[in-house]
Structure formats: structure tokens, C-alpha cells
Structure 1
Amino acid sequence: MTWPGELVSGDRVAGSLYTDPAIFAGELTRIFERTWVWVAHESELPGPGTFRSTHVGTQPVIVTRDRAGDLHTLVNRCRHRGASLCERQNGRANGFTCPYHAWSYGLDGTLRGVPYPTGYEGVLEKADLPLVTLRTESHGGMIFATFDPGAVPLREFLGDAAGWIDRFMLQGGGFPIKVLGRHRFTYRGNWKIQLENTTDGYHFPIVHRSWMASVDAETANMMSFMTDQDAVTHDLGNGHSVMRMVPDRSDLAVDDGTEPLPARFAPLVEDLSRTFPDDEVRRLVRSVHGTGFNLNLFPNVAMSGSFFRVLRPVAVDETVVEHIAIGPDGPPELDALNRERLRIHEHFQGPFGFGTPDDAEGWDRVQRGAQAVPDLPIMVNRGLSRESRDGEGWPTSHVTDETGMRASYRMWKQLMSDE
């Protein structure tokens, strides 16, 4: 039998990585149960007693904030007979009670009550049966969890990607970031196909021609990065990468004040100017399009321009994707700006948008094509000969090159080869 790690050789990967159920099963245990997986944004748990239901790989979990404000990630499975405890996506609760036999648990997972305890004398100690709890840590408002108690600290796992998370959060224009809304869809393809897409600049002018034709000239010019030699992709280590499509927007804190604000936002400028001083208005409006980069965090979340994209593997040929719109968390006077961000989000990422449906068609086609000659290599060698290390020591090549994909597959190989 070929060991999964042997199916990745630097600049190519076997097509069976998309189609082999045994490989997929190994990924769930060796990757999704051993690395830090993104589970929520802190704005979704704004106070004590708030929770959000999600998944780590295929395993259902509940992310909670207890009365002391501490974060927990709990496996959504009663310790008695295995029933799910929570079917709501989010909300507020004092704890969770199993609907089958009413075992009740605290927000930190402790078993608080067992009804009709007669019959459990000498065979049950509540302290021995808390909910299975994952290690939970956060950075920059991004909450991650892992099943592995021996995993390195989150900050070490993120490495140089942490600084890019901090840059991404600057699009609040001086305010914290909050989740504005989300939508979910499923495509009939392997999770790694979507993982590759976030730092694939090569496809953009081909797949997204209709979107480019639908936007104003200023936006189209901003996204015309194919021949911009300053537009690059960096391998940040541990499978993470960042694709800098609009280099002069990589750090929204850098602004010499000479760049004119887009004419299309003139009504928004007028609205904001009634409340905020000119410098704040400028920061807020410059942030409407988000950052000029896509940050891919292995294995399941991308911070893409102005939104989060989260993937959840369901089967070897089925993946759920969530697109999460974000905006500044501030006074009601920011509502108009956040509505504008939502309209921009819908225009590209929405289910009837000009971007995501085209992407999903491509992902479906890759899965269908990969069924043929499954060991025929998938090529990820674009730009390999011109890849070099930049001043930070990051392997770097042009934004249209496949540096980010090679970064992901190096981490994939490391995890899948480690016995």
C-alpha cells in the first residue's frame, strides 16, 4: 500500500488525494483532530452564556463563553447515550440539557445533574463524566480549537500568519470587527480543492470575467493584478500562506492621504461625515473593500479580502463552505457602511453573486475530472523556478503562482506522514 505522504512530491500531488475515501478518513484523524481548527469569531460570543454550534472536521462541537468570560469548545455529545445536546446554531444558555434523559452540563462542560440518581450508586461519579473538551485559544478575535492536548500553542502554530491576522482586522477602521452574517453552501468536491482556491490568483481573470465586467472601473483596475510584479504570494510556514493581490492595501494603517476615495462611495462619505471627523471617515471608507490580500490558514479558514471563508469536510467528495461577512463593530452611525459592505459581499460571494457560483462550478469539475486516472498528478508547479525567499525569509513568487498550494501540501504531507 502506498503511504499517503508518498502521494505528494513537492510540485505535484496524486489525484487520488481528492477521491480515495481511505485518505479522507486519515485526514480527519491526522489533520483535523491534531491541528488548530478555526471554530468561531469572538464577536459571535459577545457575553457570558453565549454559544455557537459548529464542527471540527466531521465532529460536532459547541463553542461557549462561561460566566467568567472564558472560552470553551465542547463535543456536542452527551456522555450517557450519545445524543446531541444542542441543535441551535447560536444563542444564549445557562448550560445544556440532553433531551433524551436530561443529563445537564455547565457551559464549561461539567456534568451538573443526573435525574433519578437511584441506580447509579457506586457506578457513577459526576466529576468523572464531563463533556469531552478541546483546547481552545484565540488570536485577534479568531477562536481555534484542537483535540490534541499536546499540540503546540496556537500562537506558535500560526507563526508569521499571526501578523497578517492583525493586519486583516485593521479593516474595522479603528473599531473592532464583528460578524454581520453568513451563508452556507455545499459543493460536490474534496475539501482541498477549495483550500487551494484561496491563494490561486491564476484563475481570477479567467473564472471571474463576469464579475470584472460588472464592477466600476476603479474596482476593476484595483483587481487587475496579473502583470503587477509587486503582487506576490508568500509561504508563511505550517501550511499558511498569503496572496497579496493589491500590495498597497496590505496594511491599511499605511496611508499618506493622497489616494482619492472611490467616487462611488461619495454618498457614504457624506453620511459618515455627519458623525465622524474626516480622518476617521477616510479610514472607514478605505476599509470598505477590505484588505488587499487573502490569508489562508491551514486547514480550514481563509481571511479573504473582506470576509471569512470556512470549509468543513463532510465526505471525500463533499464539502460545506461558509462565507462570513464582517464589518466594524461600533455605533449605529456605522449601519450604512456595514450595509455597503454586505452589498459588496453579496455581489461576489453571495449565492446569486458573480464570483462564488463560478468558483463552485470549477471545484465540482475538478472533482469529476479527478475520477479519471486517479494517480495522474495534479500539477502545482507554476512559478516554482522563480520562487525565492524574500527579506522575511518567506518562500515567495508571483501572485499567479502556486506557492500557497505547495505550502498547504507540505503541511499536509508532514501530518499525513507522521506516524
Structure 2
Amino acid sequence: MTSLAELTSNPDELIRQDRVRTPLYTDPAIFEAEMTKIFHNTWVWVAHVSEIPNNGDFKMAQVGLEPVIVVRDRKGEVHVHLNRCRHRAATLCEVRKGKTSSFVCPYHGWGYSLDGKLRGVPYENGYNEEQIDRSKLSLKSLRVEEYNGLLFATFRDDIEPLADFLGPAKKWIDLFMKQGGGYPVKTLGEHKFRFPGNWKIQLENTTDAYHFPLVHKSFLTAVDKETEQQLDMLNNGGFVEDLGNGHSVMVMIPELIDLDDNLEAPIPEKFADLAKELAAEGYSDTDVRRIVRAVGGSGFNINLFPNLACSMAFFRVLQPISVNETEIRHIAIGMDGGPAAANRARIRLHEFFQGPMGFGSPDDAEVWDRVQHGAKGGEDMWIMLHRGLNKEDSLPDGRHRSDVSAETGMRAAYDQWKRMMTV
């Protein structure tokens, strides 16, 4: 039997509560099924509202393997259209982001308004009315909903509302967005790269504190002592919690869960110069403390199944390319209308860990590569996800929580994966 057939007929042979089989990383048939059963049947993150702030602004994205355009129309409404002309399937857009008043196919000139309606067909007298009913030839549009600036799209019209899908994760998203320091959060730029591995390898990483002191040892030796102690996350009382529907949160620095709490705490030495600069610009002591605290980022990571992580101080977006290749986008976030000095400090921190020459992302990508390479051997062996299971607490609604080094987040993601893949 193929592994995909086994998944349908006897799923416990491939995936159990505390372990999964290697073909989940390596089987092309499973990958193809994931693109339909998961990415076609759930809410997928496509943009942050600050990426398309004005009418006519657009950006390209993908839902699974399907290219889409995220655009704000003339009335300010957000649409997500399949990036495909209704005539002969050519892509309408190949520009990563920009501003436009319409979309025109470069092949035969069919033109569409920002809301997706077909508006123009060159030499239209070559068709009769039945052949060119414009009301039936609009762009294929996905359902789109927003939560606290995060835009999600889905191919399914009958799916549950986004707020229900996010469930307990909403609380953590709200806390994460306090990184605006009293200003709206906005995207500042991004670093994009690919690694030769399956998308689920990265999905597992976001709520995996167990690897941090090992993989990121070089980073920890490069920071100041105060930061090093703060990031001693395996000894600081953190936890991992299943948030339902495959989502999870990993709290690494409990005192930084709510950035509005404990503003009277001493300002870290590494931000002393920033605090002085903000004070010299006329910001009140309370505002200086709120902004500086926000610059340092939140003390937790959120994993939003299947493709978005809100990770301490940035968005991490995973994009499956093939069974053994994944694209990662690390999107820096800052304060819209906030002090330039604070946003500069955010960018410098982002570069230090997430940048292409940073101390974090290259090390992560190396071990992700090694996982995929190692998975080429021993296809019948299990990938173990049982850490912390014996210490896991059950919450009143059936979800689970364990210590920060536990693999609770991975078990939550694979539980949702199994539900969707075996329907």
C-alpha cells in the first residue's frame, strides 16, 4: 500500500498522538493531497492590512500552490482573486506589490476591475452575447475575512467564520499586536528564502523551545548578559498551549506576555540610548516605556495553522513549494506613525536574528535541511513528538498545556492535520 492509501484506510499506521511516520515529509502523493484537503479547505493567511493600506494597493500571495492577488478596491473593500485570466489562464499580475486601477491580461487584453468584474474585451464583436456574458466571467474570488489586521482567505464559502476558526488564538493575537506601542502595527519589510525541506518541518519549529539553546547557541553568545538571561527560556517558567484547530502558543518570557503590564520595570540597558532619544523628542515617560517595551517584542510565539507564525517580533509565513522545498518569508513589523528611532531599532533587532546574515535564521534553515536529508533514510521509522506528554495538563475545554520545552504545539498541529487529511 502507498502511504497515502494507508493514511485513508489506516491512519494510525502513519500518525498517532505522539509520533508520525517519515512519509509525511517525503511522500509526493501526501503533499499533493495536503494542498487540496488542507490549503483548499481552511483559512489561509494572505496579508497584513498595512501591506495594502490604500485603495488600489495590491500584493501577490498564494493559497497552497494557487497564485492569488490581494487588492483593496475603490471603495476600500479587500478582495482576494485567483491570479488567472478567465480567457486562456494567463496570470494577470507578475508584480510582487504595487498600486493599480485595474488588471489587464497581457495576452489578449481582457480587463478586470479591482473587485474582479470583467470590464473590457478587445474586439468583442468576435463573440455573440451567449459566449461573452460578462456577469459569468468575473475573476474567481476567494472568501476573505480580517482579524486584528490579519487577512485570511479560503476557497470554501461554507466554512466557519474566521473568528471561530481562530478561537482562543484571538487573545494571543491581540496581545501580539500591542507591539505597536500605542500605534497601529505595520509591516516594515521582509527577508525571503527557501530551504530544501517539507513545510511541516518549519510548522513544527515555531513552538519548539527545546532546540533554542542548542541551535541558537551562537546567538546567545552574541547578546548582552541581560538578554541572555531573559532568553534562558527552558528555566523561566514558560509553557506551550494547544489553542485548538491546529493553533498553539509558546510562552518563552512570561513577564512579556502583556506589554502594557509592569511599565515601571527598569528599562533594559540595551535600550537606554533609545529611551534617551525618545525622551529628547518630547515623549512622556510612560510613552517612552511603552514604546521601548514594544520594541523588544512579545515574550511568546503563536502558530496559526497552517501557514502563519506571529513570532516574538515578526511574522513568519511558510509557503509550500513541493514535497521537499518550502519558501519562508520573515516580515519585520513596526509602529505605523510611531517614532522613527523605534522602528530603526526594530529593524536592527530583526536583522540581528532573522536577517540573511543574522544569528538565527541561517542556523534554523541548516537543521531543517538536515531533517529532510535524514528523512531519506528509514522510511518506516517514527518521528517522535512525545516530549512533555507525561506532564501535560488538560484544560476545561479539552485542550492541553505543558512546559515550554514540550512538543504540545506539534501534537496540536498534527491533530488538526489528521482530522483534515482523513475526511
Normalised to the residue count of structure 2, the TM-score between the two structures is 0.96
- Structure 1 residue 183 displacement after superposition: 1.2
**Equivalent of residue 157 in structure 1, options 148, 161, 165:** 165
**Residue number in structure 1 paired with 2:375:** 370
- Structure 1 residue 254 displacement after superposition: 1.6
**Equivalent of residue 32 in structure 2, options 25, 29, 32:** 25
**Equivalent of residue 217 in structure 2, options 209, 213, 219:** 209
Q: Secondary structure at the match of 1:100?
A: coil
Indicate how the Cα distance of structure 1 residues 391 and 264 shifts in structure 2: closer, same or farther if over 3 A, else same. Answer: farther
Indicate how the Cα distance of structure 1 residues 105 and 162 shifts in structure 2: closer, same or farther if over 3 A, else same. Answer: same
**Equivalent of residue 184 in structure 2, options 173, 176, 184:** 176
CA distance in 2, matches of 1:208, 1:95: 46
**Equivalent of residue 340 in structure 1, options 340, 345, 369:** 345
**Residue number in structure 2 paired with 1:280:** 287
Q: Secondary structure at the match of 1:326?
A: strand
CA distance in 1, matches of 2:396, 2:261: 19
Alignment of 1:292 onto 2:299: yes
- Structure 1 residue 389 displacement after superposition: 2.4
The amino acid of 1:352's aligned partner reads M
Q: Secondary structure at the match of 1:2?
A: helix
**Equivalent of residue 261 in structure 2, options 254, 257, 265:** 254
**Residue number in structure 2 paired with 1:406:** 411
CA distance in 1, matches of 2:286, 2:126: 69
CA distance in 2, matches of 1:55, 1:255: 40
Alignment of 1:380 onto 2:385: yes
**Residue number in structure 1 paired with 2:92:** 85
**Residue number in structure 1 paired with 2:238:** 231
**Residue number in structure 2 paired with 1:2:** 6
Query: How much is the aligned-residue C-alpha RMSD, in angstroms?
Result: 1.1
The amino acid of 2:131's aligned partner reads V
**Residue number in structure 2 paired with 1:115:** 122
CA distance in 2, matches of 1:388, 1:104: 56
CA distance in 2, matches of 1:381, 1:322: 29
**Residue number in structure 2 paired with 1:12:** 19
CA distance in 2, matches of 1:406, 1:35: 19
Contact 2:263 2:290 in 1 (8 A): no
**Residue number in structure 2 paired with 1:199:** 207
- Structure 1 residue 275 displacement after superposition: 2.6
CA distance in 1, matches of 2:276, 2:19: 52
CA distance in 1, matches of 2:205, 2:162: 24
**Equivalent of residue 70 in structure 1, options 77, 80, 86:** 77
**Equivalent of residue 132 in structure 1, options 118, 126, 140:** 140
CA distance in 1, matches of 2:266, 2:141: 50
Contact 2:263 2:289 in 1 (8 A): no
- Unaligned runs of 5+ residues in structure 2 are none
Aligned structure 1 segments of 4 or more residues deviating by more than 6 angstroms: none
Q: Render the CA deviation track for 1:331-371: whole Å, top value 9, x for unaligned.
A: 5xx11111111111011001110000000000000001111
CA distance in 1, matches of 2:380, 2:105: 46
- Structure 1 residue 390 displacement after superposition: 4.5
- Structure 1 residue 393 displacement after superposition: 5.8
- Structure 1 residue 287 displacement after superposition: 1.1
1:22-61 counterparts in 2 under 5 A?
22-61=29-68
- Structure 1 residue 3 displacement after superposition: 2.0
**Equivalent of residue 197 in structure 2, options 168, 175, 189:** 189
Q: Render the CA deviation track for 1:289-344: whole Å, top value 9, x for unaligned.
A: 2100000000000000000000000000000000000011115xx11111111111
- Structure 1 residue 392 displacement after superposition: 7.3
CA distance in 2, matches of 1:284, 1:392: 36
**Residue number in structure 1 paired with 2:363:** 358
Q: Render the CA deviation track for 1:8-52: whole Å, top value 9, x for unaligned.
A: 110000010000000000000000111100000000111111111
Q: Secondary structure at the match of 1:226?
A: helix
CA distance in 1, matches of 2:67, 2:193: 18
**Residue number in structure 1 paired with 2:175:** 167
- Structure 1 residue 196 displacement after superposition: 0.1
**Residue number in structure 1 paired with 2:327:** 320
